[in-house]
Amino acid sequence: MKKVISVLLALVLVAGLVACGGGKSDDPNVGMWNAVSASMMGIEMEIDELFESGVTLELKANGKFTIDVDGEKGNGKWEYDRDTIKFSASDADMTGTVKSGMLTLENLLGMGIDITFEKEGGYTTGAAEGAQNTASDAGYYVIDSITEDGETFDSASLKEMGIAYYILLSEDGTAEISTDSVTQGTWTPGKLHYQEDGEDVVSNYTLDKDLLTIELGDGITLVFKRSDATPPAQAPGGTPSTDDLDALQQWWNGDWYGYIYLPTADGAWEELEDGWWDCFATIDSDATGIGSIFLWDDGGELGNVELQITEHGVSAAGVAMSENGHFNKMEIGHADWIIDPGTNTQSYEHLIIIDGTFEDPDGSEYGGFMYEIWLRPWGMLWDDAAEEDLPPGYYDWYLDRYTGPMPTMDEFLSGTAPQPGTSGTGGDASGNPLVGTWLAEGDGAGGTANKDYVYEFRADGTGVYTIFGDARPFTYEIDGNTINIVYYPGTTDESEDTLEFELDGDTLTITTWIDTKVYTRQ
């Protein structure tokens, strides 16, 4: 990459950067500028990743400039007007901007590379003005509009949809970014620095008067407006800061949920072949990568294994390698488990898969099994996963827990964990009388007994309708004596229906366009 770029730049520069106005000796733009960062196709890179010898730009008071790119020099003329610098050459015109004392050169020599420069000795407009420039972007910005695929939603529409994004740029260089969750980071003029799924991310922004704009790509633009209101301490649904954890710790550490699957089993374990059930894990590691994974299900402990987590994986998530411990009754030693998310054949985000073979320590006559353990962070939706890859309890109870606190490990192991959903005759604390599980007593039209129809209504407006063993997730709203229901929301199978209902204590009668059924609260 470096060699190709250097050759192309050499061809451009040798062709001659020669070329209106310029600057004066007291123009703060006049002087030597050194490249400090670069971006190419939206990817932020260190300068030395592209140019071993760096990039320098000298703006002269006579309106001429000299640029040195990896040892290849060219020159031309420059002019400055309202934060914009235009560079004129015989065959390679360029445009740059100067904001908050930083100069950004866009599309360097037509190569598709943006370069940000810092001036030697600082931006020479005086210490006071320099400080003002540095802090000029600081402020509290609230979402003003979102444009997606050409359709723009204004602030009023976003408020109706419950979208209250904001960005807080503090004068100390820290940033708080609130979208669907709260992310802590830092900022420099024109850039937000933060971590996402354990990876360092830089998002560019532009500031025009009081409007801060972020282009996300794929036709999505977010515009925030400076506000005099008091910023919230933390956005609803936010999580505590993890600034004290490094990137790998943030990706691996914490509580996980998923399942264990046995594709084959023999001997004493034969009945478990092709079986699967929910399981849980907690991963804890320090800054050196030394840590452990504790696995359990509602029957007790499954395993406890020491890990060494390093960055030397296929992806930025790194890799975790077992050192010692046990799974079920079998000893796990060095490198028996190599957990590398980058090798997953599935494209699901933030997924780890542990696989291996269990041989019963009590003797070969007891057999063993092959196992796969699929885990994703607790509270994460699996709506990008195929139905066959979902944990068995995903619809039955996990989505209820998604909006509430996770029971502690002790609660699960002791069996004292509060059960998801609610029971009893009065719905739940939200006042929704339908919350609970309802089993069909019979077919109101034909009077035949039928136990194959089950409705589960949850307090968060979601639920599952099971018909002859086929679980159909849904969302719903109650309007008087009708239920407006959407099956398989957000999928290609999404469908809507309206049900009429009557509730008499623990008896629920539901009428559809097909028939009427009576259900009893379980």
Structure tokens at 509: 């009668």
Q: CA separation (Å) from 351 to 103, 398, 517?
A: 40, 17, 41
Q: Quick one: tokens of 38? A: 């670069």
- The closest of 167, 181, 187, 163 to 235, measured between CA atoms, is 181
Residues 93, 96, 24: CA angle, nearest 5 degrees: 95
The pLDDT score that the predictor gives to residue 232 is 63
- Give the ranges where 136-228 is alpha helix by DSSP (H): 155-160
Using CA atoms, how far apart are residues 24 and 512, in angstroms rounded to an integer? 81
Helix (H) and strand (E) counts for the chain? 7, 36
CB 103 within 8 A of CB 85: yes
278 three-state secondary structure: strand
Intervals of the chain under pLDDT 50: 1-24, 125-135, 233-243, 403, 419-430, 443-450
DSSP-assigned states of every residue in 373-389: EEEEETT---TTS-GGG
- Go through 114-149 and write b for each residue having 16 or more CB atoms within 10 A of its CB, e for each that does not: bbbbebeeebbeeeeebeebbbebebbbbbbbbbee
Amino acid at position 407, single letter: P
d(CA 187, CA 169): 7
Of the candidates 304, 346, 309, 343, the one whose C-alpha atom is nearest the C-alpha of residue 325 is 304
The confidence score (pLDDT) of residue 260 equals 94
pLDDT digits (tens, 9 = 90+) for 97-131: 887 678 888 877 667 788 888 888 776 543 333 33
In which residue are the tokens 């036709």 written? 219
**pLDDT given for residue 132 in this prediction:** 35
Report which secondary-structure segment, H or E, holds 355.
Answer: strand 352-359
pTM (2 d.p.): 0.38
Of 41, 34, 33, 31, which Cα lies nearest the Cα of 5? 41
CA atoms within 13 A on the CB side of 398: 23
- DSSP 8-class letter at 395: I
Give me the residue label for tokens 């030394």. 290
Contact, 508 vs 433, CB < 8 A?
A: no
Longest dimension (CA), the chain: 97
Residue 493 region, left (φ>0) first, then alpha (ψ -120 to 50), else beta? Answer: alpha
Distance separating alpha carbons of residues 308 and 252, to the nearest angstrom: 11
How are beta strands 319-327 and 338-339 bridged, if at all? antiparallel
pLDDT of residue 109: 61
**436 φψ region: left (φ > 0), alpha (ψ -120 to 50), beta (else):** left
For the stretch 28-81, pLDDT in tens is 788 898 988 888 776 788 888 888 888 898 888 778 888 888 888 888 888 877
According to the model, what pLDDT value does residue 374 have? 96
Please classify residue 275 by burial: count the beta carbons closer than 10 Å to its beta carbon, then call 0-12 exposed, 13-18 middle and 19+ buried: middle
Cα gap 208→204, rounded to integer Å: 14
